[in-house]
Amino acid sequence: MTALTKADLAEYLYESIGLNKREAKDLIEAFFNEITHSLERGESVKLSGFGNFELREKPSRPGRNPKTGEPVTISARRVVTFKPSQQLRQRVSHYHPADDSVSESEHE
């Protein structure tokens, strides 16, 4: 299984809509920076047709040191969660790796 990277996204923008490589890279960086900054400010990020990034507060809780087995307290923290949209869930559940036409035709 391969992973889609920021470089892959920039290359796609370069090839599909004609941005030069620097513009494509800058656009991808700006996009992810804005998502990051919104989450840092405590805001949810809602991307229609894709999903929502939300923050969740996790309280402190008891845990164990895996090496020693000693009890420890895991401190409270804020975590990012992602909830895919219904549209994304449906598309992913209907995708079959042998059928690359799904991803190619949807890029058009």
pLDDT digits (tens, 9 = 90+) for 25-68: 999 999 999 999 999 999 999 999 999 999 999 999 999 999 99
Measure the CA–CA gap between 108 and 95, rounded to whole angstroms. 17
71 φ, ψ (degrees, to nearest 5): -70, 140
The CATH number assigned to the domain holding 20 equals 4.10.520.10
Question: Rounded mean pLDDT of the chain?
Answer: 91
- Which residue from 49, 42, 48, 47 is spatially nearest to 80, judged by alpha carbons? 42
Domain extent at residue 32: 1-42
On the question of pLDDT at 82 being above 60, the answer is: yes
Query: How many Cα atoms are found within 13 Å in the side-chain-facing hemisphere of 80?
Result: 16
Q: So what's the pLDDT on residue 10?
A: 95
Q: How many domains does the chain have?
A: 2
> In this structure, are 55 and 84 located in the same domain?
yes
Asked if residue 107 belongs to a domain, the reply is no
Residue 37 host element (H or E): helix 21-40
Give the C-alpha separation, 25 to 8, whole Å: 10
Is residue 105 in some structural domain? no
State whether 85 and 63 are in the same domain. yes
Does pLDDT of 72 surpass 90? Answer: yes
94 falls in which pLDDT band (50, 70, 90)? confident
What is the rounded distance in angstroms from the CA atom of residue 55 to the CA atom of residue 77? 10
Q: Are 50 and 11 contained in the same domain?
A: no
Q: Give pTM, 2 decimals.
A: 0.74
Same-domain pairing of 52 and 78: yes
